[in-house]
Structure 1
Amino acid sequence: MSLREDNEEGRDLKKPFLHTGSWYRMSGRQSSLFASTQAIRDTSISVFACVLIVALGPIQFGFTAGYTSPTQSAIITDLGLSVSEFSLFGSLSNVGAMVGAIASGQIAEHIGRKGSLMVASIPNIIGWLAISFAKDSSFLYMGRLLEGFGVGIISYTVPVYIAEISPPNMRGGLGSVNQLSVTIGIMLAYLLGIFVEWRILAIIGILPCTILIPGLFFIPESPRWLAKMGMTEEFETSLQVLRGFDTDVSVEVNEIKRAVASTNRRTTIRFADLKQRRYWLPLMIGIGLLILQQLSGINGVLFYSSTIFRSAGISSSDAATFGVGAVQVLATSLTLWLADKSGRRLLLIVSATGMAFSLLVVAVSFFIKASISETSSLYGILSTLSLVGVVAMVIAFSLGMGAMPWIIMSEILPINIKGLAGSVATLANWFFSWLVTLTANMLLDWSSGGTFTIYAAVCALTVVFVSIWVPETKGKSIEEIQWSFR
């Protein structure tokens, strides 16, 4: 075999798992036979289309998170589970996600961002089917673990893909679509859970990934991943279709090439290398934000919101839960605009501060209610105040703490350690998500007021952490952000 044949064979092995073909190349060089070609050439439409397709993954993520709230009492009754067994069921998605997080970086590095999303979709579909046909806790637990595994991969891959395809001036808004999609998934689970029984709701959970799989064949792979893998022609073509065929991408092409060349993709990165400041500082920031996001208690509130509202004395707890989901979607929609206007750092500080005050209001309400009669007029006022506090906490979370940690993580990690470091950061997030989800019901049984006080203290700590360590990344290219840590 000749050297040329050897090189070509090696090149084939490095091709993306999902190769998109040449449909967009032809439309850029020739006059089109279809009216839609001009739309494809438009920069915003190209990037928006890609983001909308991969956003089906976070919708699946959110549906998984929201599923436990409207189904708790029905599943416990139908399958004869205890509260602790159901709490285990709720938390197992986080256990699966931890396994998925460990694998996510390496999967995304070896077979590409699109291939990674394909891999994540399959266990999600199988998991929902297992839950829908469950006759006992074993199938229920297995399905939840499989869902979690897929969600763990999705939670890392989608924000990274969006960050790598987006222009600097749109990256914050487009990155926020990830969290917006999660909230839409949660809201849909809350809403549909009011009208359909839990097995049908599990069948509906299959839909996002079922649509995502064919959608992946119509979008380009991340140009930065292609450049890192040495596929120059595919890298430039992918970037051209994302920016529009009439756009000069030479400056961005050269910037990405310089960044890739400086990191030397063939250099093996070990844990010992993370001691260098340019590695440990962004990794610490990314891990810190993702841990604090979970310790704020948001998943404890969202997973068991119906239970929280019942204990607060709200009679229509399912309707209140759906209202929280709808408010979260609206607040996160505002973040799409704010992320590139006010910046990531300010949003994080405002968000964490708002959460701290809201959680203190809820804590005080529960403390006072514990010492008064349920027939008291003050009891009803405090129930309403608890609801307002939870809604305000969700709004504050949606404005910054929901989307910004994932956006910043995807922006600041150097490309040559993104797989390893991203997996570590995502694993930390899911571990603490599991811890919060597993203990939320038990903590609420111990003391509702005490639980919300702990969550408020974490939010106050977040304000300090962001003020000291987190840089502003608004309006900068990914390469500029990563060079600033050197």
Structure 2
Amino acid sequence: MAPCCFIGGWLIEKFGRRQTLRTLGIPFFIGWIIIIFSTNFTQMIIGRFINGCSIGLLNPSMSVFISESSSPKLRGMFLALLSFSFALGIFVSHLIGTWVSWQGTAIISAFLPMASVIILAFVPESPVWLLSKGKIDDGIKAFYWLRGYGENAKDELKAMIEKFKSTEPSTGVWRNDLKKYNTPKFFKPLIITITFYLTCHYSGVHTITFYSVDIIEKAVGGGIDRYVAMLTIDALRVITTLITFLTSKNCPRRTLCILSGSLTAASMIDDKTIKVSMSSRKITEATKS
């Protein structure tokens, strides 16, 4: 999935954000079809591998398309909506999978990528990408379709057109083109973003998502319905991402990141404390016996 993120960046620059997103619906669908008809572990892994590659290609395409198509005042909210969408999708898939077989869940999931392909047929390409490719008229039409004809929108469009007209074209020599990336305005945000996502994913967010049933069963035992507990965790994730979405417009992003990281660290420390306490209790009981 990670290498595909780099490939996805090249695809959206070469073929456009909207076209890349529409095309990705096909491998998504193929991956789910393989899973539906799989009869052994190898076929299941092949289907998951295709879906994983598709997700890696999807992540940069989706984020860039939303950021370039939305108003600067609402851009933060729309990008925060991505996390809410992921959380809601996980909750719905787990909810369906609790009462429906895994084949049935895969069948339902297979139709969602094709639905996005149909919906994107009625949405224009990113105006930023169109303008960057010299398609000024198409870029103007797409911009007004997405943003309307307000005065602020017109001023932003005018500034965008002037920016792309003054931008130096690519020299065609990759060594010369790489020089523009050796600047603080490029590598500083890159380092911050990579560090943030590494620490975020290393905290175990995906581990909890995919193995929550097994983790709950081993941690609690038979004292609680592990599927209800899984759905409760998913519901809490949906609620917190929704709160982030609603507050991201007025609350500083840095404050939200610090708060999220602090709460995550506190929960992991508390979890470790509980494990140490339980181990000490077992050792004490074993010593007494």
The answer to whether the superposition gives a TM-score over 0.5 is: yes
User: Unaligned regions of 5+ residues in structure 2, if any?
Assistant: none
Paired residue secondary structure (2:73) = coil
Q: 1:248 offset after TM fit, Å?
A: 5.9
Q: Within 2, Cα distance between the matches of 1:297 and 1:210?
A: 31
Matches within 5 A, 1:97-112: 97-112=1-16
- The answer to whether 1:332 aligns with 2:236 is no
Indicate the residue corresponding to 2:19 in structure 1. 115
Q: Aligned partners of 1:317 and 1:262: how far apart in 2?
A: 59
Separation in structure 2 between the aligned mates of residue 248 and residue 192 of structure 1, nearest angstrom: 44
Say whether the 8 Å CA contact 2:8–2:57 is kept in structure 1: yes
Corresponding residue to 1:320 among 229, 232, 254 = 229
Cα separation, 1, equivalents of 2:10 and 2:181: 17
Q: 1:238 aligns with which of 137, 142, 160?
A: 142
Cα pair distance change 1:247/1:258, threshold 3 Å: closer
Classify 1:260/1:285 alpha carbon distance in 2 versus 1 (closer, same or farther; 3 Å): farther
- 8 Å Cα contact 2:22-2:117 kept in structure 1: yes
Deviations 1:290-335 (A, max 9, x none): 2222112211121111111111115311110111111111111111
Q: Distance in 1 between matches of 2:189 and 2:232?
A: 37
Q: Give the match for residue 298 of structure 1.
A: 205
Q: Quote the Cα distance in structure 2 between the aligned partners of 1:312 and 1:265.
A: 58
Q: Evaluate the alpha carbon distance shift between residue 372 and residue 133 of structure 1 in structure 2; reply closer, same or farther with a 3 A threshold.
A: farther
2:97 to 190, 193, 196: 193
Would the aligned equivalents of 2:19 and 2:125 in 1 still touch at CA under 8 Å? no
AA at the equivalent of 2:6: I
Structure 1 equivalent of residue 218 of structure 2: 311
Where does residue 450 of structure 1 map in the other structure? none
Work out the percentage of aligned pairs sharing the same amino acid: 26
Q: In structure 2, how many angstroms separate the alpha carbons of the residues matched to 1:337 and 1:272?
A: 39
Cα offset, 1:246, TM superposition: 5.4
Determine whether 1:342 maps to 2:246: no
- Matches for 1:345-424 after TM superposition, within 5 Å: 345-372=254-281
CA distance in 2, matches of 1:226, 1:184: 32
Shift of 1:139: 0.6
- TM-fit CA distance, 1:266: 2.4
Matched, 1:218 2:122: yes
Separation in 1 of the partners of 2:83 and 2:116?
17
**1:119 & 1:261 partners in 2: Cα distance?**
30
| Residue type at the aligned position of 1:214 | I
TM-score, normalised by the number of residues in structure 1: 0.55
**Could you give the per-residue CA deviations for residues 353-410 of structure 1, whole angstroms, max 9, x where no partner exists?**
111111111111122223335xx9xxxxxxxxxxxxxxxxxxxxxxxxxxxxxxxxxx
Question: Structure 1: which 5+ runs fail to align?
Answer: 1-96, 377-486
Q: By how many angstroms is 1:267 displaced?
A: 4.2
The change in CA–CA distance for 1:356 and 1:263 in structure 2 (over 3 A counts) is farther
User: 1:227 Cα deviation (Å)?
Assistant: 0.9
Q: Distance in 1 between matches of 2:165 and 2:198?
A: 32
User: Is the 8 Å Cα contact of residues 312 and 366 (structure 1) preserved in structure 2?
Assistant: no
CA distance in structure 2 between the partners assigned to 1:221 and 1:336 by the alignment: 25
- TM-score normalised by length of structure 2: 0.90
Letter of the structure 2 residue corresponding to residue 289 of structure 1: F
Q: Spell out the pairing of 1:35-54 with structure 2 (5 A cutoff).
A: none
Distance in 2 between residues matched to 1:134 and 1:369, nearest whole Å = 42
